[in-house]
Structure 1
Amino acid sequence: MAEQIIILDFGSQYTQLIARRVRELNVYCEIFPFYDAPDLTPDIKGVILSGSPCSVRDEECPQIDLSKYRGKVPLLGVCYGAQYLAQKNGGEVAPSEIREYGRAKLSSFNEQHPLMKGISHNSHVWMSHGDTIKKLPENFEVIASTPSVEVAAFTVTDEYTYGIQFHPEVTHSTEGKQLLKNFLVEICNCAQDWTPSVFVDASIAELKEQLGNDKVVLGLSGGVDSSVAAMLIHHAIGKNLYCIFVDNGLLRKNEFEEVLASYKHMGLNVKGVDAKNQFYTALKGISDPEAKRKAIGKTFIEVFDQEAKAIKDVKWLAQGTIYPDIIESVSVKGPSATIKSHHNVGGLPEKMNLKVVEPLKTLFKDGVRLVGKALEIDQKILGRHPFPGPGLAIRILGDITPEKVAILQEVDSIFINMLKERGLYDDVWQAGAILLPIQSVGVMGDERTYERVVALRAVGSVDGMTADWMHLPYDFLSDVSNDIINKVKGVNRVVYDISSKPPATIEWE
């Protein structure tokens, strides 16, 4: 049985980041809401308690009985988790006299303590809390302090239980990863043997057992998730995997033909379906973004269902669902009402009456790429920017027409290709162009023009939860603007979006 770390989520914005850092250290972990903590099993090597937007002093703050873990496996409380451990055991937590947000330095700590192994004097840590531990319980002792926070870290005497009032998972904590490694390796005795290759071997074995000789249908999108899911299943069942790639008329320029060719090269059993006209008909006259999404989703289900039914005796629907798609966003007032619906083919399982197989459901996006690399998938696929499910429909503000799609495809193609030519593509997390529902006056030759405006968007991000606009070189922006205006008939103005997420979103709709 593979070893794992359990992360109990109290609603912190950083909980997924803790999980990512643990996995970067080649240790498998899973996130559970605090109100649904799993029972202790032999494979659980340790438990991490996350932070929270709540205060332990609030009457309705998240509560949990830790008796099934305490003294049995190592326990690490982070911020709220540390304060909860202190207060529940007789300590005192009070509002901070000085708000403790931002960088601080570990000015003193117990260098001999296993949690502090390899940590430098004055190491930077990231604070983010309005409360602080004023007094520790009798059997607790301080193992690290900052100039303004006496109890930056503590340990429980004769017990593998620890608390820290800073966030080791954020990059601002310069040696946070070392501290996490100390907890995982020195204290929990994790073997650090959870690697992409191990995941691939284990997943293929599980898929072979799960699927047997059954037929599986999968909707390919050309993106990373569906491609990696397809290759894992292909390695397990070969030609019993039937892939369907639908051209909804909202893909990038030449994408349908290029992606189909790359999949054939990978040995996948793929059928391409040209359904452009069906989607254009379904979208005719619709301008509302949510209505566009619904029309595209409904049409996709109809097309995909029709194609899948043409394959005899299909038993399974494969999906490229990844871990963030299925982790419940914890409501600190109790269980959330809903779990995020699967982003790729929502509605298909119910309609098609098929069993669902999701080989990537325990992975984050960066883990998916590493697994894809272990499967030797072409870097052109693995390095592709994320692309929205509704495609260019949500980058065309207003109603959708084939003419508008053609214009945006040309603009997008110039932008993306120039990013690649100038060596900028891999520095950008996501890029694209937006066709605005306005026209602008311009001059071409001796004539005044009244043509369309396009906005270029390029952001840097880790997972899309937050994103900053990319500071692309001015000469690049100048060249790409000139190229678009000179080569794309109907466009006479190019603007660059310099808003970040939050407060803006990455897409405009």
Structure 2
Amino acid sequence: MDTSSIVILDFGSQYTQLIARRIREQNVFSVVLPCTAKLEEIQSCKPIGIVLSGGPCSVYDADAPNADPAVLNLGKPILGICYGLQFITHHLGGKVRSAEKREYGHAEVSIVDPAIPLFAGLPVNLHVWMSHGDEALDLPPGFHLTARTSNAVAGIANPDRNIWAVQFHPEVHHTRHGTELLRNFLFNVCKAKPDWTPEHFIKSTVAAIREKVGDGHAICALSGGVDSSVAAVLVHRAIGDRLTCVFVDNGVLRKNEFFKVQENLCEKLGLNLVAVDASGRFLSRLAGVTDPETKRKIIGNEFISVFDDEAHRIAQQTGGVDWLVQGTLYPDVIESSSVKGPSQTIKSHHNVGGLPETMKLKLIEPLRDLFKDEVRRIGRDMKMPEDILQRQPFPGPGLAVRILGEITPERVALLQEADDIVVTEIKAAGLYQQIWQSFAVLLPVKSVGVMGDQRTYAYTCAIRAVHSEDGMTADWVPLPYDVLKRISSRIVNEIRGINRVVYDITSKPPGTIEWE
């Protein structure tokens, strides 16, 4: 990325990704780093400002997530949020204590110093969202109070050091003027320029790929989804015919997808596409495996093995292949590598956590800094067809993470039929583009049923539909009852082997979007 950025140091807050999104919505690039990032890594991002996120711990705890205090002396504008305010207070000579009255949820904040640039144009009374059990008791030398609630300090500042902090969360929509506050930090304090646009991203990314690859050749792991398709078009713009796209049938694709994707991408995108039927190879490796992480690792390793084989074959025709293009997104990286300070890895993604150490190809991941909606905007700017850009996300491991328990050809066939019914009915109801993801899951649960006066003992199918902006959080969709009724009726009547349908009404968190 050749543009300057806002670096967000993550202390484990559930809202950290919202900070990144709110900043990017202002056409300013932001990047999330773990709070433990070294100063050299922070400076390599060319920060024009640094945000210290919230977090679930207390700064005075022995095991509290910590950043190098030297980050406060880099001379860059700093905005502390919640835990970030307490980190600043604690490390610069103030005092933080457990609050007598904790503040969670809606709160009223009075601005004490409306003249500071952070609060320019904001009303003196703010409706905000609080989430803290500690408070700043004594301010560090050189700092003054800028805002407060009836219970606690809500804002502090040291203009001479260009350090600003608030106890509330401006990134959440419950804070009514939060976006204006962040805009003030970006443009009044950091003097940012709103130049991180799709046009800029495309131009700089194509140039960077062209320089990286040089005269070499690349292959692209193309699934037919939004991410890999946009990645392929970007790389194709950079190196043209020296890119060969490889589409692999891993045995756990959706119904007829192996043929539909070939037709769609060759005709509409004009990409050089090689289709490889490796279904038997994948299914034999997955036989008997029930652990979801093991499934993902197997699929990741087998994908790369297939690409290595194809690269060798293509290399004989082109003189060599050095690069592998993948459509890895920011949420994939976050969930796989746990950049959230002390948080745990949620699950590994086949294109991030499943890569074997012995992989022969070097990676190009042009989208790894982007969220899904940003990828779609990039695709539109490159004039890609809407039916490709509006395709709902489909997991890299395919139906393998929607079949709980063992993967067998028979169970894959059952889920392919059920999933096809779900997608067909969601589209018929005009809901497909309004929903982030909608799909079927085959459970390793059999139950008794009755059909035609005869007893059945068959599998259970779960239906999942969620709303989301970027896959980091999601709310379940209250599908209309008539749509659910049609889906359920068709599945149990048309698919021999499934006799019960249930609906998943779990949000993320506490669940994940996929079941595995």
The alpha-carbon deviation at position 434 of structure 1 amounts to: 1.6
Structure 1 counterpart of 2:23, one-letter code: V
Structure 2 residue matching 1:152: 3-state secondary structure: strand
- Percentage of identical aligned residues: 53
2:50 pairs with 1:47? yes
Identify if the C-alpha distance between structure 1 residues 273 and 10 changes in structure 2 by more than 3 Å, giving closer, same or farther.
Answer: same
Bigger drift between 29-38 and 184-193 goes to: 29-38
Are the equivalent residues in 1 in contact too, given 2:10–2:340 (CA < 8 A)?
Answer: no
Q: Contact 1:394/1:507 (CA < 8 Å) preserved in 2?
A: yes
Aligned to 2:376: 369
What is the correspondence of 1:344-493 to structure 2 with a 5 Å cutoff? 344=351, 350-493=357-500
Aligned to 2:254: 252
Q: Normalising by structure 1, report the TM-score.
A: 0.91
AA matched with 1:359:
P
- Shift of the 346–14 alpha-carbon distance from structure 1 to 2, 3 Å rule, reads closer
- Determine the structure 2 residue equivalent to 1:9: 10
Q: Is the 8 A contact 1:5 1:46 kept in 2?
A: yes
Alignment of 1:214-293 (within 5 A): 214-264=216-266, 265-293=268-296
| Secondary structure in structure 1 of the residue aligned to 2:403 | coil
Secondary structure of the structure 2 residue equivalent to 1:507: coil
Q: 2:187 aligns with which of 182, 185, 188?
A: 185
With structure 2 as the length reference, what TM-score do the two structures score?
0.90
1:31 corresponding residue in structure 2: 32
Partner of 1:318: 325
| Structure 2 SS opposite 1:8 | strand
Instruction: Report the Cα offset of residue 71 of structure 1.
Output: 7.9
Aligned to 1:329: 338
Letter in 2 for 1:117: A
Seen in structure 2, the aligned counterparts of structure 1 residues 411 and 95 have a Cα distance that, compared at 3 Å, is same
Deviations 1:410-439 (A, max 9, x none): 111111121122122233222211222333
Change in 2 beyond 3 A, CA 1:68/1:133:
closer
Residue 343 (1) aligns with residue 343 (2): no
Q: Secondary structure at the match of 1:310?
A: helix
Does structure 2 retain, via aligned residues, the 8 Å contact 1:100–1:130?
yes
The one-letter amino acid paired with 1:427 is Q
Residues 1:174 and 2:176 are matched in the alignment: yes
- The CA deviation at 1:243 is 0.7
Task: Give ranges in structure 2 of 5+ residues lacking alignment.
Answer: none
Residue 210 (structure 1) aligns with: 212
Instruction: Identify the range of structure 1 (267-276 vs 131-140) with the bigger mean alpha-carbon deviation.
Output: 131-140
Query: Superposition RMSD on alpha carbons, in Å?
Result: 2.7
Whether contact under 8 Å (1:283, 1:292) holds in the other structure is yes
1:416 aligned counterpart, secondary structure? helix
* SS of corresponding position for 2:134: strand
Tell me the distance in 2 between the aligned counterparts of 1:172 and 1:7.
Answer: 21
Residue 241 of structure 1: how far off its partner (Å): 0.4
Uncovered stretches (5+) of structure 1, i.e. residues with no partner: none
Residue correspondences, number: 506
Distance 2:72 2:58 in 1: 23
Contact kept, 8 Å, 1:315 with 1:354, in 2: the verdict is yes
Note closer, same or farther for the CA distance 1:452–1:65 as it changes in structure 2 (3 Å cut). Answer: closer
Cα shift readout 1:482-502 (whole Å, capped 9, x = no counterpart): 122232233322111222333
Cα gap change, 1:268 to 1:297, in 2 (>3 Å): same
Deviations 1:157-176 (A, max 9, x none): 43421110011112222221
Letter in 2 for 1:203: T
1:316 CA displacement: 1.3
Deviation, structure 1 residue 267: 1.1
- Cα separation, 2, equivalents of 1:382 and 1:20: 20
Name the amino acid aligned to 1:215. Answer: H
Matches of 1:42 and 1:315, distance apart in 2: 27
